[in-house]
Amino acid sequence: MRRALEALVVLTVIAWVLDGPRALGLSFYTEQFLALVLGEAMALAFLVYPGRLQTRRERVPWWDGLLCAGALAAGAYVAVRYPDLATEVSMRPRDFLPLAILVTLLVLETTRRSTGMSLIWYAAAGLVYALWGHHLPGAFAAQPVSLTRLANYLAFDTNALLGTSLQVAAVVVVPFILLGQILARCGGSEFFTDVSMALMGRYRGGAGKVAVTGSAFFGMISGSAVANVSAVGVVTIPLMKRAGFTPMFAAAVEAVGSTGGQLMPPVMGAAAFLMAEFLQVPYTAVLVAAVIPAFMYYFSLFMQVDLEAASLGIAGTPKDRLPALLEVLRDGWHFLAPFVVIIAGLLVYRLEAEYAALLAAAVLAVACCVLRYRGRRSTPLEVLRAAVSTGSAVLDIVLICAAAGILIGILNISGLAFGLTLELVGLAGESLLLLLLISAVIAILLGLGLPTVGVYVLMAALVAPALVKVGVTPMAAHMFVMYFGMMSMVTPPIALAAYAAANIAQCDPDKTGWMATRVGWAAYLVPFLFVYDPPLLMQGAWWQILWALATNCLGLWCGTIAVVGFFMNRIEFWQRAAFLAAALALLYPAAKLAGGMAFNLVGLAAAGALLWHARK
């Protein structure tokens, strides 16, 4: 039954993306498709996840089987009756109240089983606020709403459960996860690890640099920090430990590297697709804007590993023990083909992201069945199993986006989003920096119990409008909140990616979280930089973009030297302070703030002098 439901989820999405119903002469509302996929996903969740969290499931109890059938029936009923239901619910709202409550509770229960209680507590607080918040004073007073209207709105309205977040998860994210599952299960992860080893293994600290590049490569297809750690870390963390890095540092590097995968073009995390919908721009606009921030993220991490390796005297792996790059590319070039298809489809042929992803998955599936890698060719059955496994792989995202739709509906019907925007703007006053700091803290706090996509949806509805209201461009505002939602994965006290890496490295998870914060220090700075310096988001003249990229990368390098305390040799405290000052001058935004170019030039001269002096 589980395999059948997994296959049904994937086939339903593929049929919809390829416009199958129209080819058969049928016409459906998008909401009917979403209700059907949601019902299938909830039914599958009752088979996959036990009722008690963090327990192993050995069998499916009868009550979960009953809930599975009920979820499938509820989704199918809404899908079949939606054209009539959309009209009748406004005339006879009480008749549909039991169905609305049932659907809402099923969504919340399956979300609880898949991701824990965090979203449930937020939803419960939102429901209480929506029903009784009109008694509150001032801007936080909610619009009065009855239970019947609230339940029907949340379950059936296109601005709530059956809205944008669920549509993006079902229509756009599923095809990309399908591509990732085929790539990971048919040799792609081994190929990218071999490429990283061939590129970086022979340099000092090569094992750590393999972790950085491998995480970046694999992050393009996984979009999940914890999944990235699990797939790449099992290879790179033991490799780093054998090379001489401490277990904590090895785990921290892997955690930070894997977290950045959600920002890595061309296949970013699910939050990036949601961002395109919120901003009403093509996905390619988000992809282009993310290129420089992603490069800066990994550049600073790469420099951190390089300097740490130099300070510990860790050499690279002998060349004869590494795979040859040309041989790896010759044997596994077909694993790069889907990325070429996606980029060409998006940028050249202007395809929708979901079409490009399905086309790339089809090309990869055929290539894996025809061509060998490491002497092994995937069978059609293996490719089919990888494709079917997508049904379970997308469960978390589909359910989180469904629950997020409920939260968005609560924010819309209660008026909380508008009131909070006014309060945040009033609290920050004229200070953009203060509002950015408040937004960053809120994103990290929300991320303590939520995946990045959940944090982004809430922040996009609650905080991003306040940033736009004070003058931040919409792209920068949404990229800022997504970035800090992502960084919660390595920020204590609940740093999920760091904890997963610590488990592999067999070291203290709390200390690993703080080490990851130190290793990824620059990642907390980059979002502020692109808000104040739009060329970092590809907004501006070409010379402004190149200048911003060059000065910021040099500034991040100088800052990393100050943090590590090493260049060619150990440097003294005054030199670290001087490198830090030069870094701040180089990072000072030249595009928006007065005197920015002068600060950059001073920083450039100071950095040159310090690097020349420190090399002796």
Query: Which amino acid, 473?
Result: T
- Which SS3 state, helix, strand or coil, does residue 45 take? helix
In whole angstroms, give the CA distance from residue 79 to residue 213.
44
Instruction: Tell whether the model's pLDDT for residue 558 goes beyond 80.
Output: yes
In whole angstroms, give the CA distance from residue 303 to residue 315.
15
In whole angstroms, give the CA distance from residue 91 to residue 395.
34
Mean pLDDT of 259-279: 82
Distances (CA, A) of 122 to 108, 135, 439, 468, 581: 11, 19, 18, 24, 42
Mean pLDDT of 313-325: 85
Peptide bond into 266 cis (omega under 30): yes
Q: Cβ of 581: how many Cβ atoms within 10 Å?
A: 17
pLDDT at 220: 65
Kindly report, residue by residue over 456-473, the tens digit of the pLDDT: 888 888 888 889 988 899
Mean pLDDT of 193-199: 88
Rounded to a whole number of angstroms, the distance between the first and last alpha carbons of the chain is 69
Tokens representing 187?
Answer: 């040799």
Kindly report, residue by residue over 394-435, the tens digit of the pLDDT: 998 899 889 989 998 998 898 887 777 777 777 777 788 889
Tokens representing 518?
Answer: 């130190």
pLDDT at 155: 94
pLDDT at 299: 94
Q: Cβ of 62: how many Cβ atoms within 10 Å?
A: 8
Closest CA to 104 of 54, 31, 51, 157: 157
**Phi, psi for residue 508 in degrees, rounded to 5:** -65, 125
Bridge partners of 95, per DSSP, are none
pTM: 0.86
CA dihedral 549, 552, 554, 558 (to 10 degrees): -160
